[in-house]
Amino acid sequence: MFNRKIFLSLMLCLINLIYIYPQDKDTSGDNIESWIYEYAYVKGFKYDCTGNPTIIVNYGFSKISIENFNESFENPGLLEIKLGYTHESNNYKAENIINYEFTYFYTGNTSVNLTDNSSGNSDLKTDLWRFGFGQSLGYGYNLGQVAIIPYYNCSIDWSKLRMEDQPLNSGDENTIALFNQAFRFGNSEEGGIKFQFLPGISIDAGYERSVIFPRHIFWEWAGGVAVQAAGQWAIDNFVNRIFDSSPYAAPVVNFLFKNALSYGLFQLRHNEMNWPFNTAAPLAYDLFKFGLTFVL
């Protein structure tokens, strides 16, 4: 008989082995230290909190949805702050290509009170506070005083939703009761571009998809993470090969492939929060954000 927990445990062990044991690679020559750093970077091992202190402030707007929910939500605004550490280094395989990493803690508010919408419509009004931990990774182009860095970001989140009014439909009321006035676990992924126009200052634009779980089922969640980790590992290895042949194409390919995988999986998770496992639908947020980064 199929044992789901044993299956998921084996998947997690497999992903762990994939990330621990490197493929054969020539490490001879003067670049061995650079290769060790690069390999750790590509595989996601680096979790460096010794880089430059960084503050990011974002503002934007969002859209809320739940599968099979009959009523509509008013689109809330977004305000958030991220505090963390940025590490940038030259990529040893290509001149003017930089490795980018930002590790952070964040908190933010997504609320109708942050918009100027005063239409008085009957859409449901919400106020959401959230916090969590995340990491942005990418490769960028160093153009002297200017840099362009496309990135991929993921985070784990804890959120508390407050409904300012309640659904009229009894089925919708029961659905929203799973989230209202309670802390819930979830995760988010984001794709964006940083435009550094002065040393230590950049303008950011990003699109984030966030899901909030009505309840956290660890094994199914871990299985979904394992599936996504396998996809990210395959992309990392593919991009690493591109660095060998066409290094200046690698930052764009990395950005497109990683965020395409993220978008596709989130489309599937909109119906089942822990796809590929049969689970309940989450509360989903689509967020468009613009911000300023200050690297100190």
Single-letter residue type at 289:
K
Listed as own residue / partner, the contacts of 44-47 with beta carbons closer than 8 Å and 24 or more positions apart are 44/19, 44/137, 44/232, 44/236, 45/19, 46/87, 46/101, 47/103, 47/135
Average pLDDT for residues 286-294, to the nearest whole number? 97
Q: HSE-up of 270 (CA within 13 Å, CB side)?
A: 16
Lowest mean pLDDT among 62-71, 124-133, 164-173: 164-173
Structural domain harbouring 226: 50-295
Which CATH number belongs to the domain containing residue 211 in this structure?
2.40.160.20
Q: Is residue 58 part of a domain?
A: yes
The per-residue pLDDT for 279 is 85
Q: Is residue 218 part of a domain?
A: yes
**pTM for the full model?**
0.81
Single-letter residue type at 7:
F
**In the predicted structure, residue 39 carries a pLDDT above the cut 60:** no
What is the distance of C-alpha 61 from the center of its chain?
A: 17
Q: How many CB atoms lie within 10 A of CB 27?
A: 12
Band of the pLDDT at 122, cuts 50, 70, 90?
confident
The per-residue pLDDT for 36 is 39
Q: Is residue 26 part of a domain?
A: no
Q: Is residue 8 part of a domain?
A: no
Q: Is residue 17 part of a domain?
A: no
Q: How many CB atoms lie within 10 A of CB 114?
A: 17
pLDDT digits (tens, 9 = 90+) for 151-196: 999 999 999 999 988 888 888 889 899 999 999 999 999 999 999 9
Q: Is residue 21 part of a domain?
A: no
pLDDT digits (tens, 9 = 90+) for 68-91: 888 899 999 999 999 999 999 988
Q: Is residue 30 part of a domain?
A: no
Q: Answer with the residue of higher pLDDT: 29 or 132.
A: 132
The per-residue pLDDT for 46 is 43
The number of domains in the chain is 1
Q: Is residue 6 part of a domain?
A: no
Query: Tokens 């919408």, residue?
Result: 117
Q: Residues 6 or more apart from 116 whose CB is under 8 A from it?
A: none
22: which 2 tokens? 């490197």
**In the predicted structure, residue 26 carries a pLDDT above the cut 70:** no
